[in-house]
Chain A
Amino acid sequence: MTTRAFIGRPTASPREAADWSRRRILANNLRSVVGRAYPRVRGMAREPSWLFFEILLPFLTTSSFVFVYRALQAPQEYVGFVVLGGAMTAFWLNVVWMMAAQLYWEKDQGNLELYFAAPMDVMSVLFGMAIGGLVMSATRAAVVLVVASLVYGVQFSVDQWGLLVTVFVLALAAMYGLGMVLASLFLMWGREAWHLTHVLAEPVYFVSGLNFPVAALGRLGALALATIPLATGLDAMRQLAFAGHLGPAPFLPPLAEAGILVAMTGIFLVLARFMLRALERRARQEGRLTVRWR
């Protein structure tokens, strides 16, 4: 049986087939990003049940805090704080649960060894996962933000739209950068990393100031701003989305927080790359990560 497909596009020699230009390598990596993002984006349309779990349930959680503030007769801006926090929670949840556990799942499915055996850089796969997750979470965040704003009459007061959008993008970059680091950690540490995430979930929510300005936490809040991208991004966005803020004076102006987010993004990406390389080295040495029974 000889078909055209079996003839394919043969090369003259293995050397020619293996000799890739830098441009080809870059193109391969970029295509791999798109390729890995694809199943997540397609999955959104294939399983509409996520609308219930990913949008309605978080909306209810956000609503409960809105009613607490209303019962306390807090200023209307506080409702806005909660809604913004609810929207950003979508991204955070996606990072710490989906993104962080993804390589671990890929190993169980047998995908990981195919990724390592393919010619692209595995960082592309992580980028693809991040972008796919980001698209999914952005939909959820947008729905929570729009619906909650309309239902609860949130009034935004934005002076610097450009900076607000920049901070939002930087916050996402830093969060997903952290997700890429966590993905390698999860794969290396397995169940222990999973337990750690469980243990840290509520404390992180608390110190990130999802439902109140983080400055209210004093030094703990400052520490959160310096280490948790969710806290940094949220604090900057609150300052920018509700100009003439209420509550305790913020530690840092939005521009400085944008700088912290840039630094976090850089550090997380470098760390993720370093960890992936360490992971591959360990996988090849010990056979524990790509060989499923190991």
Chain B
Amino acid sequence: MSGSITAPAIDARGIRRVYSAKPAPITALAGVDLEVQPGELFGLLGPNGAGKTTLIKILTTLLLPSAGTARVFGFDIEHETKQIRRIMNMVAGGEQSGYGILTVREQLWMFSQFYGLATREGWTRVDELIDAVGLDEQRLQRVSSLSTGQRQKMNFARGLLNDPWILFLDEPTLGLDVSAARSVRELVVGWKAAVPGRTVLLTTHYMAEADELCERIAIVDRGRVLAIGTPAELKQRVQRESIFRIELDRLVGGPTALARLPGVVSATAATAAQAGGTTGDPRQTVEVNLVLVEDAALGGVVGALGGLGARILALRKSEPTLEEVFVELVGRGFDDSEETAAHALHPSEAEPDHDREHQEVG
């Protein structure tokens, strides 16, 4: 049933996209299957050149797949483009859209007209959104004079003008400083939470961003989805043992005393810290890295420490990062893959020199 809220927000099957290029065609997507449910904040995580932007272009009806089908809330991306365009919006990182000569308020109003808002309704909506994204002071400022962060907030406001059911965010915090990036992330979460059923598809190559924002993540590389799951599920893939760091006031017999306990795989000394810090208190503490077969083994360790007269000052569970998940899946790090992708996959690198005037990483 087209346009039903019960239909998946995104249902992509076998999506392939091949760009013609010299000396050889470039496969940007090599058979992507993806299902995103209504109300999800779903992340596509992958290095540059992984195919994330190409997938977004296809789902936003700007690009046709070379093979495969996709539906957005039940609407076919090839034949029901108008319907999809009425219920979606998109914002890209580093977006320079619009006209610098207009003020923030005027620019947003102009876009409101493209999205079908009535004239007066458009001005009202624009003012509401300017307040919501924190651009009140820049309301009458020319777009050309905005900082990168302010500009991205304005772009985000543009993306919300038509109350989309699904918002596509392509690297929305690209090039932003820490504070501006945090603001944008808060806006994303706040907007999505305001009305049930709103869906966000976010692409990023920032691991922490995906981890913080996304309910589920697809890790993509070289046009393929390598794994899909919640951040916790993905991390679980690489965490076969439980790892804890434990800080003690002392440990008679050293870490080896713990290594013999049931369920303990290894116990090694970390750094020795000085509890007194700069106060001159000479008390030394002991930090131990504990690798356990499972979390349940921790109880035995804590009991044993009591028997040894050690007092626990701090206990922290170590979790693998999404980067470790990526390395596990791909066999190389994100930075390595960016380098590789930039040279092996990026179409701008593959095209002849006479086309370079049009090239800008998209």
Q: Which residues of A contact B (CB under 8 A)?
A: 1-11, 13-20, 24, 27-28, 31-32, 34-36, 38-39, 42-43, 46-47, 109-111, 113-120, 125, 190-191, 283-287, 290-294
Contact = CB atoms under 8 A, between A and B. Distances in A.
A39 B57 contact: no
Nearest to A17: B87
Contact of B195 (A7, A14, A18, A46): A7
Contacts of B4: 13-15
Given A6-B160, A35-B113, A292-B362, A117 B3 contact: no
B61 interface: yes
A190 B349 CA distance: 20
A42 B101 contact: yes
A6 B85 contact: no
Nearest to A286: B20
Nearest to B168: A117
Contacts of A10: 163, 195
B62 A1 contact: no
Which 8 pairs, one residue from A and one from B, show the smallest C-beta to C-beta distance?
A15-B3, A35-B113, A1-B190, A5-B128, A5-B132, A6-B194, A28-B116, A18-B83
A119 B82 contact: yes
Contacts of B116: 20, 24, 27-28, 31, 119-120
23 contacts: A5-B128, A6-B160, A6-B194, A9-B163, A11-B163, A13-B5, A15-B4, A15-B74, A17-B163, A18-B75, A28-B115, A31-B118, A35-B110, A38-B106, A39-B101, A42-B102, A118-B85, A119-B85, A284-B63, A291-B362, A292-B359, A293-B358, A294-B358
B236 to A, nearest CB: 31
Contacts of B75: 14, 18
Nearest to B72: A14
Interface string B93-114: 0011111011000100111111
A235 B82 CA distance: 44
A89 B1 CA distance: 55
B101 A287 contact: no
B87 A18 contact: yes
B64 interface: yes
A14 B73 contact: yes
Contacts of A294: 19, 347, 358, 362
A5 B54 CA distance: 30
A109 B97 contact: yes
Given A290-B57, A293-B361, 18 more contacts: A4-B132, A5-B125, A5-B132, A13-B3, A17-B86, A18-B73, A18-B84, A19-B83, A27-B116, A113-B62, A117-B61, A117-B62, A118-B114, A118-B115, A284-B61, A286-B20, A292-B358, A292-B359
Nearest to A45: B101
A19 B92 CA distance: 27
Nearest to A107: B358
B42 to A, nearest CB: 16
Contacts, number: 197
Contact of A1 (B54, B84, B163, B187): B187
A32 B113 contact: yes
B125 to A, nearest CB: 8
Interface range, B side: 35 or more
Contacts of B61: 116-117, 284
B146 to A, nearest CB: 15
Contacts of B74: 14-15
A292 to B, nearest CB: 5
A6 B118 contact: no
B97 A114 contact: yes
B352 to A, nearest CB: 13
Interface in B189-239: 189-191, 193-195
Contacts of A32: 113-114
B108 to A, nearest CB: 11
Contacts of B83: 18-19
Contacts of B85: 117-119
B91 to A, nearest CB: 10
Interface in B130-146: 131-132
Contact of B97 (A28, A47, A110): A110
Interface string B135-164: 000000000000000000000000010110
B194 A190 contact: no
A110 B125 CA distance: 23
Nearest to B186: A1
Contacts of A9: 163
B326 interface: no
Contact of A14 (B3, B95, B118): B3
A173 to B, nearest CB: 23
A14 B186 contact: no
A43 B129 contact: no
Interface string B231-264: 0000000000000000000000000000000000
Nearest to B189: A1
Contacts of B20: 286
A91 to B, nearest CB: 22
B348 interface: yes
B101 A46 contact: yes
B32 interface: no
B103 to A, nearest CB: 9
A109 B114 CA distance: 17
A43 B144 CA distance: 13
Contact of B62 (A18, A20, A46, A284): A284
Contacts of A109: 96-98
Interface string B245-288: 00000000000000000000000000000000000000000000
Given A110-B96, A118-B114, A292-B360, A8 B87 contact: no
B82 A291 contact: no
Given A8-B195, A294-B19, A3 B190 contact: yes
A293 B101 contact: no
A291 B61 CA distance: 12
Contacts of B69: none
